[in-house]
Amino acid sequence: AQKITQTQPGMFVQEKEAVTLDCTYDTSDQSYGLFWYKQPSSGEMIFLIYQGSYDEQNATEGRYSLNFQKARKSANLVISASQLGDSAMYFCAMRERLYNQGGKLIFGQGTELSVKP
Amino acid sequence: DTEVTQTPKHLVMGMTNKKSLKCEQHMGHRAMYWYKQKAKKPPELMFVYSYEKLSINESVPSRFSPECPNSSLLNLHLHALQPEDSALYLCASSQEGQDNQPQHFGDGTRLSIL
């Protein structure tokens, strides 16, 4: 069975500094996808970044980048130049491959990030 | 603004009431989802619709009844709920058959059961 582990329940970072949120995963599939979502206190789940298992380069989206280490089964999210608006819950998720049944997401427990001014 | 619209944003209901949550998307997605989320926990999948047909029911109690009238709309009918059903209910949609496409979520409905 697929599993996502986020070992940091909460983290603090100083404004303008970089922060890394950890995510490890377990799967027997050769082909899989990993997603990171941000959830502010308002509730909306915001898609941040995607990494495919066959992607040769680490994904980047603006200030977000993914440190993907396939052999270690880790997909850590790096946020550069933290802003106060980055304070939120962050979830790492893996998509379970289902044929014509939609894509079931397996979520980690989340990391609550607080950015200090 | 999200591309998945959920109404209402907040709902308070008694245990004997019947109410419905609504979700709408116009991105042409053929997979739609309902999730339940408790505070500071990850979302828990409840139902998946693929091409307007129920494809996954994660052993959800029958007091929750999903409905997909067309490819853009998803409803969740609520009846005789319990206090423990108080939570944030999230709707999501995604393209079917494309593993690299994310699920797009709505803002959610915050449900309180009295």
User: Do the chains contact at A98 and B55, CB–CB below 8 Å?
Assistant: yes
User: Do the chains contact at B105 and A91, CB–CB below 8 Å?
Assistant: no
Q: Can you give the pLDDT at residue A98?
A: 62
The closest of A91, A90, A104 to B34, measured between CA atoms, is: A104
Determine the residue type at B18.
K
pLDDT along chain B (114 residues), means of 10: 88 93 95 95 95 92 96 96 96 84 93 94
Q: Can you give the pLDDT at residue A31?
A: 84
Q: Can you give the pLDDT at residue A104?
A: 82
Q: Can you give the pLDDT at residue A99?
A: 59
Q: Can you give the pLDDT at residue A101?
A: 59
Interface with chain A: mutation pick from B100, B107, B110, highest number of A CBs within 10 Å: B100
User: Do the chains contact at B40 and A95, CB–CB below 8 Å?
Assistant: no
User: Do the chains contact at A43 and B110, CB–CB below 8 Å?
Assistant: yes
Tell me which residues of chain B, numbers 53 to 82, contact chain A at a CB-CB cutoff of 8 Å.
Answer: 55-56
A48 and A21 Cβ atoms separated by less than 8 Å? no
Write a three-state SS string for A84-106.
HHHCEEEEEEEEECCCCCCCEEE
Taking all residues of chain B, what is their mean pLDDT, rounded to a whole number? 93
Render the burial of B99-109: b for 16+ CB within 10 Å, e for the rest: bebbbbbbbbb
Chain B residue nearest residue A32, CA to CA: B99
**Whole-angstrom distance, CA of residue B27 vs CA of residue B35:** 19
Considering only the beta carbons, identify the residue of A33, A44, A109 that sits closest to B100. Answer: A33
Query: In a structure prediction context, what are the per-residue pLDDT tens digits for chain A, which is 117 residues long?
Result: 789 999 999 999 999 999 999 999 999 888 889 999 999 999 999 999 999 988 889 999 999 999 999 999 999 999 999 999 999 999 999 987 665 556 789 999 999 999 999
How distant, in Å, are the alpha carbons of A86, A89, B46 from that of A40? 8, 6, 22
